[in-house]
Amino acid sequence: MDHPILQGLLRQPVLLVLLGAFCLLMALMIPAYFYAYRPKPNSTEWISRLDRPGFRPLTASALSPADIVWTLIAMASAAFLWVVYYIIWMGLMKADNPTAMIRQLLKISVPVAITALSVYLILRLMGGKPLPAILASVIGAVSLFSQSKAMAMFSLSLLFLYLWVCAPYDAPLFFNALWLGFCAAAYGVALLYHFPLIWAAPFYFGTYVTVQVLRWKHGNPDTRGKKLAGSVVLLFLLLLLGVVAVWLVYCVRRQKGNPIDLLRSFSFYKRLIPALLSRLSTLMRRPSYWHTLVFSDSFCFIAGAIAMVPLLHGLFKLRDTRCLFLLLLLPFLFLAWLFSACYALIPVLSLIIGWCWCSYAQRGRPLYAVGFAVTHILFLFAELYIH
C-alpha cells in the first residue's frame, strides 16, 4: 500500500467521492458531443451524412491577427493558474523563503506557457475555435506537474510537425523543410531534458515515411523524385548534426568541458554509440509512472479517456484525419508513461480534450466547453482544499 494515490484514499476517503463526482460530470461530455453533432433542425444536413466520407489530407487552417491576442491570453492564463495552483499546493505562506520560491515558480511557468501556446496553435490549425482552444491549453498546462521544460519542447515539436505534414503535396521543398528542421530541433532539446521521450521517435519516423509516400503518390511526377531525394538527404544531415549537437550539449553539461576541444577529440565520437545504447537499455528499468502518479494527475487522465469516445467517433464515423494524427501518438506515449514515468501524455490528452470541446463550438455550443473546463479546474483546486 505504498502507492501515493492509495495512501491518499486511505487517509481521506472523501477523495474517492470527489473522483466519482468528477467522473460523472465529465462523462456528460459524451452525450453533449452527440447532442451537438445532431443535424440542425429544418436543414438538409442529414443528407450529407448518408455517404461515408473518406480520409482527407491534413490541412492547416489559416490563423488571423487576432490569434496573437488569443495566444497571449492562453499563455498568460495557463501560467497564472499554474502558479496559483502550486502556491497553494506547496504551502507558500509556510515556506522559509517565499521570495525565492516565487522566483522559481515564475521561472518554471515559462515552459508551462510555451506548452499552452503549442496546444492552442495546434487546435487552431486543426480548425478549432479560439475559446475552446484556450480552455484546452489552460487545462493541459495546469495539469503539467513535472518535466515542464521537456514537455514544452515536445509540444513545440508536435506543432512544427503538424505544420510540415499539412503542406500541399507539390509545395516547395526548402521552405516547408524548415518546419521539419524546427521539429527535429525541438524534439532534440526535449530529449536532452528528458531522454524517455525517445519512445515517441517511432511516431515521428512513421509520420515522415507516410507523408513522403503520399507526396510521391499524389505529387507532380516531374518533380517528386528530386524532392524526395532532397528531403531524405536533408533529413539525414539534420539528424546527424542533431545527434552530435545533443551529445555535445550533454557532454558539456556532464563534464564541464570545452565544446571545441570535445569536437576535436576522437573519443567524443567514439563514446556516442555506446552511450546511446546504454541510455536505451535503461528505458524499461526506470521507475514506472504508476509509482509516481499522484491524485491530481487523475483528472486530466479521466477527462482525456472520456474525450476518446468523440475522438474515435471522429475517426471511424467521420473519417477525420486529425483524429488519426492524435490517436497514433497515444500508444508510444502510453509506453513512455508506463515504463519511463514520462509526462508526455498530458499535452496529447489536452489536445484530445480540446478536439472534443472544439467540436462543441463548431456546432454552435461553445458554452459546453466552458462548463466542462470550469468543472475541471474547480475539481482540481477542490482536491487541494481537501488535502
Between 52-61, 120-129, 374-383, the lowest mean confidence (pLDDT) is in: 52-61
**pTM, entire model:** 0.89
Name the 3-class secondary structure at 60.
coil
Q: Using an 8 Å Cβ cutoff, are 311 and 356 in contact?
A: yes
pLDDT digits (tens, 9 = 90+) for 218-244: 877 877 788 888 888 888 888 888 888
- Rounded CA-CA distance 280/196 in Å is 8
- Rounded CA-CA distance 180/150 in Å is 18
Q: What DSSP string describes 23-46?
A: HHHHTTHHHHHHHHHSPPTTSSGG
Q: What percent of the chain has pLDDT over 70?
A: 86
pLDDT digits (tens, 9 = 90+) for 312-355: 998 988 888 899 999 999 999 888 888 877 888 889 999 999 99
